[in-house]
Amino acid sequence: MQEVVELPSPFAHAAPHLSHSDLRETAYEILVGACRSSSPKPLTFFSHSITPHPSPSLYRSLSLTPSIKLKKQLGLRTTSFRACTTGELLRLQMSVSELSDTRLRRALLRLAQLGTPTQSMLLPLVLLQHLYRSDFSSDQEYEAWLRRILKVLEAGLLLHPRLPLDKEDNSALRLHHLIRRSLQNPILIVKDTQSMHALRTLSLSLASRSFDSSLPQTCHWADGFPLNLLIYQTLLEACFDNHQPTCLIPEVDHLLELIKTTWVTLGINEMLHNLSFALVLFQHFLANGQVDNDLLFASSHLLAEVHKDSKAMEYPFSSKSLSYALNFILTWAEERLLAYHHTFHNGNIDSMQSVVSLAISSAKILSQDTSLECNTMRKEPDISYTRIENYITSSLHAVFKLEKLDPRNSNNLPRQQDKVFSSLSVLAHDISDLAFNEKAVFSPILKMWHPHAAGVAAATLHVCYGHELKQYVKSVTELTPNTVEMLMAADKMEKDLVQIAVEDSVDSEDGGKSVIREMYPYEAEAVWIPHANKECFAQSALEILRMIDDSLKAFFLLPIPIHAVLLPELVFALDKSLQQYILKAKSGCGNHNSFIPIMPALTRCSVGSKFHGVFRRKEKSQVTQRRIFHLGTANEDSSFGLPQFCVRINTMQRIGMGLKVLEKRTVALPGNSKSTREDGTEKGLKFRLSKAASMEGIHQLSEAMAYKVIFQDLREVLWDGLYVGEVSSTRIEPFLEELNQCLKIILSTLHARIITHVITEVVKACFDGFLLVLLAGGPARAFSLEDHVIIDEDFKLLTDLFWSNGEGLPADLIEKHSTTVKEVLPLFRMDTEDLIEQFSELILEMYGSSAKYHFPLPTTSCQWSPRDPNTVLRVLCHRNDKTATKFLKKNYNLPKSKKSHRL
C-alpha cells in the first residue's frame, strides 16, 4: 500500500475564516452568476417546489451526451454516465442543496428584473441586498449565510484585493471595522439602513478601482490572488466523481465549459487554468494512494503546458502561493528521482516519465519567477540538463554504495588482498550489468530531457568504480591470478562504459568526446609493468639475455672436444630465438600508414565562406592530456599507448647493448678465443639477426609511435582542429601545447642514446601532418591569399618547439626534414592567376600537348612538391577566391564544399 500524502491547498491562507463548505457555496454562486452574465437569454426563475429540475436557461445550452475530449487529451478514466442536466449535475457535485440553489437563482432573477448592468455586479453585495430572512428556513441559517457573505467580502476586497490598497484612503479601514462589527451580530446590519448603505458604498468603491482610470468602472472584487485560485480550485473539484475520487465524471468537458465562464470574474487564463487543474489532479493522486498513474500523467502534461505558456508572460499574481505548490511537487518528485533505482521497477516504470516531467516543469517554472530572490535556478544555463545529471549521479551513487567493498580489507595481507581483488572482479561485472540495464530501462526516459543520459550514467559508474580500484590497486606487489582477473574485468568494464557513452552520443555535435573526457582512464595496464623496472624497459629482455649467456656458459662445460665447431650453430639457434622475441615485442604496433587519415575528395571552396559559427573551438581538457597516451592503436591493441611505446623502444635498445656484450663474451670464452681467430669462425659468432631486428624494431616503433601521436592521439587538435573554419581563430597553439606534453613523456622515458632518433621521427610526422592539413584537409578548410602570413608564423612556431633555443634537435636536422614544407609554403603566397599558370605548365610537361585543350586530373602521390601538379591543384582547391573556384569548376567540375561539412 502506497503512502497517502495530501497536498494542502497552496491557496488555503487566502481565506482562513472560510470553511470548505463556505468555499463551495461561494464558488457555486460565482459560477451561476457568471453563467447569467454570459447567457444570451434572460434569466427565468422556477421554484423547486413547482419544477423538479432547474431551468435550462440558467446554464449555457449544453448537450448532456458524455464527452471524451479531455479523456483523450489527458488519458484519464471516467465513470458511468448519469442522465441529468449539466447544471443539476454540477450542483450535486458541489454538494449544494436545492434550497441554496433556489435562493441563489431567486436573487439573480430579482437583480435581472431591476436591469442592473452586469459589469457593476458585486455578487456578495447583490446577494446581501436581494435575499431576505423569508428566503431562509430559520434565523440560524440566515445568520450563518450572512456571516459567510461578510467574510467573502472581506477576503475579496481587503485581504486579497486585485489592486494594492491605498494607505491614504481610509475606505478599506472603515470597511474592515464595519465588517468586523457586523460579524458579531450580522442580522443587525441588514436591519440598519445606514450601515447597509455604508457597506454598499465602501464595497463598490474598493471593487471598482482600476489600473487605468480611463476604462469604464467595473467590479473586481474576486480577481485578487490567491483567493480567486482557491475558488477556482474548488470549482475544479466538481470534475471528480464523489464516489470514485480517481475518476472524472463523464460530463467533465461540459462542466469545464461552465467553469470557464468564471474566467472573466476570477481573472483566470489558460495558463492559470492548467496550473490549477494540474494541482487538483496531483492532489487526487496523492490522496488516493499514489497508484493511479493516469492522474500523474495528466498532471505532468498540464504542468508542461503551463511552462510553455509561462515563458511568454509574466506572472500576474504573487508567487508565494505558486512557489509553495510547485516546490511541494518538485520536492516530492525529486525524493523519488534522486534514488530512482529504488523507486522505479518493471511494475511502475511507466510512471517515471510523468515524475520527471513534473520535476523539470516545476523547476523551470520556478526559475522564471523573477519575484523569487536568491533563485539559483535562474542562473543555470539549462535546468533540465543539470537536474537530470543530478538525478543520475545521485541514484547511481546510492546503488553503488550498496555494492562497494569493505574498506577494512585494504591492508596488505596477501590472502585478504586476493579476496578483495576477487570482489573487485565481481563488482566490475555487476557494474557492467547495471550500466546496460540503465541504458535499456532508465536512459530512454531520461534522454527526453538530456541527450546524453546514458553517457552521464556510464561516466558516473566509471568514477565510482575507479575510486574503489585506486584504493586497492596501489597495494599490488605481485600479479596473482586474482589480480590478473581483476585487471581484466576492470578493463572490460571500462570498455563497456566507454562504448555506452560513445553510442549514446553518436548523433551529438562532438560525437561523445565531452562525456568521454570525464572518464579518467583507470590505467590498470600500468600494474602489469613490474615495479622493479626503474629503467623503463621490459625485464623479460634481461631474462632472455641472461638465458643466452647461461646457455653459452653451459655449452662449454659439456665434456666434448669440438666446442668451436658446434658453437656457430648454437649461436645461430640462440640468435633466431632472440629474433622471435624481438619480432613479438614489436608486432601489432603498425607503421606510419596505419595512422594517416584517408584524404577527403577534392572540392572547391564556397567563396567568401569562413564557416562562422559552424565550427567551435573545443575547450582544452586536462583529461585529454592524460587520456591520449593510453588509447589503443588502430588495431585495438591497448598495450601500445605512448609510455608503452617508449618502454618497447627502450627494450630494443637494451637488447642491442646486451648483444654487444654477449658477442664479446662468446669470443672470449675459455678455449675459444684462439681457435676462432685461427680458423676464421669469429664471424659466425655474431647475433646478426637479433641486432638487425632490434635496430629495425627501434625504427619501426619510433615511426609508428610518432605517427600515432600526431595523427591519432592529437587528431582533435591537428586533423580535426587546425585551420578548420576561420584560420585566424584555429591556429597551431592548441596542437603545440598537447604535443609538448607528449614530448615531455618521451624525454622522461626514453634512453638518452635514442632520444634524438625518436624525436626526429616525431618531427617528420609533424611536418607530414602540417602539409596534409594544408593540402588534403578537406572542404572544412579554406585559405585566402592573406592567410599565408599566419601559416608561415605557425610553421615557425612548430620548428621552434623542436629547436628549443638550441637545447632540442640540431638546427641542421630540423632543416633537413623541413625542406619539403619550405618548398611548398611559397605556393600559398602566390596569386591565384600565377598558381593557375604554373599548374597549366606542369600539366603540359607531364601529359604533353594532349593536355592543351583538356586538363587531366593528376594522380595523388603524396610526394608533395611545387613541381608536382597535384600539389598545386590542391592549393587551388583550398584557395578561397572566385578565380580559383571558377577554374576548378570549368576544368574539373569539382563540387562546392558545404559549410556544414565535417571531416
902, pLDDT greater than 60:
no
Mean pLDDT of 843-849: 84
Task: Please tell me the predicted confidence (pLDDT) of residue 363.
Answer: 92
Q: List the grid coordinates of 228.
A: 480567486
pLDDT > 50? residue 318 = no
What's residue 563's pLDDT?
A: 67
Average pLDDT, integer, range 496-519: 76
pLDDT reported for residue 527: 52
What is the C-alpha to C-alpha distance for residues 801 and 804, in angstroms, rounded to an integer?
Answer: 5
For residue 422, is pLDDT > 90?
Answer: no
- What's the average model confidence in pLDDT over 272-280? 91
Confidence of residue 684 (pLDDT cuts 50, 70, 90): low
Region 76-82 average pLDDT: 59
Is 165's pLDDT higher than 90?
Answer: no
- How confident is the model over 898-903, as a mean pLDDT? 41
> Over 90: is that where the pLDDT of 898 sits?
no
pLDDT band, very low/low/confident/very high, at 531 (cuts 50, 70, 90): very low
**pLDDT higher than threshold 80 for residue 509:** no
Q: What band does 608 get if pLDDT is binned at 50, 70 and 90?
A: low
Give the pLDDT mean for 576-584.
88
pLDDT mean over 179-200:
91
Confidence of residue 85 (pLDDT cuts 50, 70, 90): confident
518 pLDDT above the threshold of 60: yes
pLDDT score for 228: 86
> What average pLDDT does the chain have?
80
User: Which backbone phi and psi does 78 adopt, to 5 degrees?
Assistant: -125, 160
Q: What is the pLDDT of residue 405?
A: 60
Predicted confidence band at 111 (pLDDT cuts at 50, 70, 90)? Answer: confident
The tens digit of pLDDT for each residue in 706-719 reads 999 999 989 999 99
Lowest average pLDDT, out of 223-237, 269-283, 597-611, goes to: 597-611
pLDDT value of residue 666: 77
C-alpha cell at 852: 592543351
pTM recorded for the entire structure:
0.57
| Among the ranges given (86-95, 388-397, 658-667), the one the predictor scored with the smallest mean pLDDT | 658-667
pLDDT for position 631: 36
With b for 16 or more beta-carbon neighbours within 10 A and e for fewer, the 729-762 pattern comes to: ebbbebbbebbeebbebbeebbbeebeeebbbbb
With b meaning 16 or more CB within 10 Å and e meaning fewer, what string describes 184-199?
eebeebbeeeeebeeb
pLDDT number for residue 374: 42
* 572-575: long-range pairs with CB below 8 Å, 24+: 572/684, 574/548, 574/687, 575/687, 575/688, 575/689, 575/690
Per-residue pLDDT band for 623 (boundaries 50, 70, 90) equals: very low
| Percent over 90 (pLDDT), the chain | 36
pLDDT tens figures, 395-418:
999 999 887 665 444 444 445 666
Instruction: State the average pLDDT over residues 840-865.
Output: 83
Kindly state the average pLDDT of the residues 865-871: 93
pLDDT tier at 17, thresholds 50, 70, 90: confident
Q: CA-based diameter of the chain, in Å? A: 148
Report the C-alpha gap between 372 and 359 in whole angstroms.
18
How is residue 474 written as a grid cell? 596501489
CB of 355 closer than 8 Å to CB of 296: yes
Mean pLDDT check: name the lowest of 161-165, 209-213, 587-591: 209-213
- pLDDT recorded at residue 71: 54
Is 603:897 a contact under the CB 8 Å cutoff?
A: yes
Given a contact cutoff of 8 angstroms between Cβ atoms, the answer to whether 466 and 448 are in contact is: no
628 has pLDDT over 60: no
For residue 83, is pLDDT > 70? no
What are 350-369's pLDDT values in tens digits? 999 999 999 999 999 888 76
pLDDT value at position 785?
Answer: 93
Question: Which range is most confident: 33-37, 112-116, 260-264?
Answer: 260-264
Which is more confident, 749 or 151?
151
* pLDDT tier, 529 (very low <50, low <70, confident <90, very high otherwise): very low
Is the pLDDT score of 51 beyond 90?
Answer: no
Is the pLDDT at 636 greater than 70, yes or no?
no
The answer to which of 188-197, 312-321, 433-442, 653-662 has the lowest mean pLDDT is: 312-321
- Quick: pLDDT tens for 787-807: 999 999 999 999 999 988 778
DSSP count for the chain of H helices, then E strands: 37, 0
- pLDDT category at 73 given cuts 50, 70, 90 is low
CA angle 110, 113, 117 (to 5 degrees): 100
**Per-residue pLDDT, 320:** 73
- pLDDT band, residue 815 (cuts 50/70/90): very high
**Could you give the dihedral angle defined by the CA atoms of residues 283, 287, 288 and 291, in that order, rounded to the nearest 10 degrees?**
60
pLDDT of residue 44: 34
Q: How far is CA 644 from CA 474, 746, 760, in A?
A: 19, 10, 19
Q: What is the mean pLDDT of residues 140-169?
A: 88
One-letter identity of residue 745: I
User: Given phi > 0 = left and psi -120 to 50 = alpha, else beta, which region is 585?
Assistant: alpha
Residue with more model confidence, 868 or 554: 868
Residues 742/709, Cβ–Cβ less than 8 Å = yes
Q: Which of 48-62, 676-690, 766-780 has the lowest mean pLDDT?
A: 48-62
- pLDDT (mean) for 677-685: 54
Of 30-44, 406-420, 562-576, which one has max mean pLDDT? 562-576
Query: How much of the chain, in percent, has pLDDT values that exceed 70?
Result: 77
Cα separation, 726 vs 867, in Å, equals 29
Residue 612 has pLDDT above 50, yes or no: no
pLDDT at residue number 120? 60
Q: What pLDDT, on a 0 to 100 scale, did the predictor assign at position 344?
A: 94
Q: Of the given ranges (164-168, 181-185, 569-573), which has the lowest mean pLDDT?
A: 164-168
- The whole-number pLDDT of residue 116 equals 67
Question: What is the model's pLDDT at position 36?
Answer: 75
